[in-house]
Structure 1
Amino acid sequence: MSFVKEFKEFAMRGNVIDMAVGVVIGAAFGKIISSLVDDIIMPLVGVATGGINFTDYKFVIQQAVIDGTTQEVLKPEVTLNWGSWIQTIVDFFIVALCIFIAIKGINQLKRKEEKAPAPDPEPTKEEVLLTEIRDLLKEKN
C-alpha cells in the first residue's frame, strides 16, 4: 500500500474528521469565552474590587535598564506576570462551567428522547383487512 493511499484512508476516517471539527469548534468556543471573561466578567470584577485589573499585577525580578540621555530602553524589565496567570485561571473555570452547562443540557435532551415512547406502528394491510372482516361478521350476527 502506498504512503499516499494509506494517509488518505487515515485522514478520511469518520472519527478523525469529527475530531478535527471538534478542535475547530473548540477553538472558536475558547475565543468566545475569553471575550466573555475579558470584556464582561473581569471589568465587573474590577469595579467590585475598586478598579483592580489583574493583568497589571506582576513581580519585577529585574528593573529595566534605560539610557539616561535618550530615555531608550537598553534592557527591558524581567517580570513574573502573576496577574495574567490569575486571569488564565478565571478563564479556565468559566470555560469549564460553560462546557458543564452545555453537556448537562445535551444530556437532558437525550434523556427526554429516551423517555418518549415510540409511537405504535401502523397496522399492516393484512391487519386492516382482518379488522374489516371481523367488523362485517359482527354486523351479520
Structure 2
Amino acid sequence: MLKEFKKFALRGNMIDLAVGVIIGGAFNGIVTSLVNDIIMPILSIFTGSLDFSNWFIAVDGKFYENIQAAQAANVATINYGVFITGVLNFLIMAFVIFIMVRQMNKLREKNAPVAEPTTKKCPHCLSEINIKATKCPYCTSDVE
C-alpha cells in the first residue's frame, strides 16, 4: 500500500495538480483584491454605496433596525441581502477571470507557431494521405 501511494504521489499529474492549486490560490488573492479594492469602489460611485448586507427578514415577523439587533434578540433571520452580495461578488469575479483568461489566450495565440500541414485529401476517395504522396495508398489514384 505504501508503494502504491508513493507511485500515486510522485506521478507527474499529481505534481502538476499541486502547482495548479498553489497558483490558483495566489490568483484568487489577486482577483479578490482587484474586485474589492478597485472594481467595488468604482461601482459604489454609481450605486451610492448601497449595502445589501442589512437586508433581511426576521422569522418572528417583528421589525428590527438591523441584523445585529435581531440576533441580539435571538431571532432567526433570512439574510437575503448577504446572498445578493455573494451573487454579485461571484458574477463580478467570474467576469474578471473571464476577461483575464481571454487576454492570456490572445497572447498565447500570437506566440503559437503555425504548423505546416502534413497531410492532404485524395481528390478521388477523400482519404487523408501524406502531403508528399503522388499516388493514393487507398484507391491507387494518381495525386497531384
TM-score (structure 1 length as normaliser)? 0.59
Change (3 A) 1:113 1:19: same
For 2:19, the aligned partner's letter is V
Aligned residue for 2:48, secondary structure, equals coil
Compare CA radii of gyration and give the structure with the larger one: 1
Cross-structure match for 2:101? 103
How many residues end up aligned between the 2 structures? 108
Q: Contact 1:54 / 1:84 at 8 angstroms: preserved in 2?
A: yes
**For structure 1, which runs of at least 5 residues remain unmatched after alignment?**
64-72, 118-141
Mapped partners of 2:13, 2:22: distance in 1: 14
TM-score (structure 2 length as normaliser)? 0.58
Change (3 A) 1:101 1:10: same
Cross-structure match for 1:34? 32
**For structure 2, which runs of at least 5 residues remain unmatched after alignment?**
63-70, 116-144
Moved over 6 A (4+): none
Q: Which has the higher helix share?
A: 1
Aligned alpha-carbon RMSD (Å)? 3.0
User: What's the CA shift for 1:6?
Assistant: 0.8
Change (3 A) 1:41 1:112: closer
Matching residue within 76, 83, 92 for 1:85: 83
Cross-structure match for 2:66? none
Mapped partners of 1:41, 1:54: distance in 2: 17
For 1:52, the aligned partner's letter is L
Mapped partners of 1:7, 1:110: distance in 2: 36
Q: Contact 1:33 / 1:94 at 8 angstroms: preserved in 2?
A: no
Mapped partners of 1:43, 1:75: distance in 2: 33
Deviations 1:3-52 (A, max 9, x none): 11111111122222222222232233333333333344334434423332
Matching residue within 2, 7, 16 for 1:4: 2
Q: Contact 1:33 / 1:91 at 8 angstroms: preserved in 2?
A: no
Mapped partners of 1:41, 1:74: distance in 2: 34
Deviations 1:88-136 (A, max 9, x none): 112222222222222222222222123579xxxxxxxxxxxxxxxxxxx
Greater length-normalized contact order (CA 8 Å, ≥ 6 residues apart): 1
Residue correspondence of structure 1 range 1-141 to structure 2 within 5 A = 3-62=1-60, 76-115=74-113
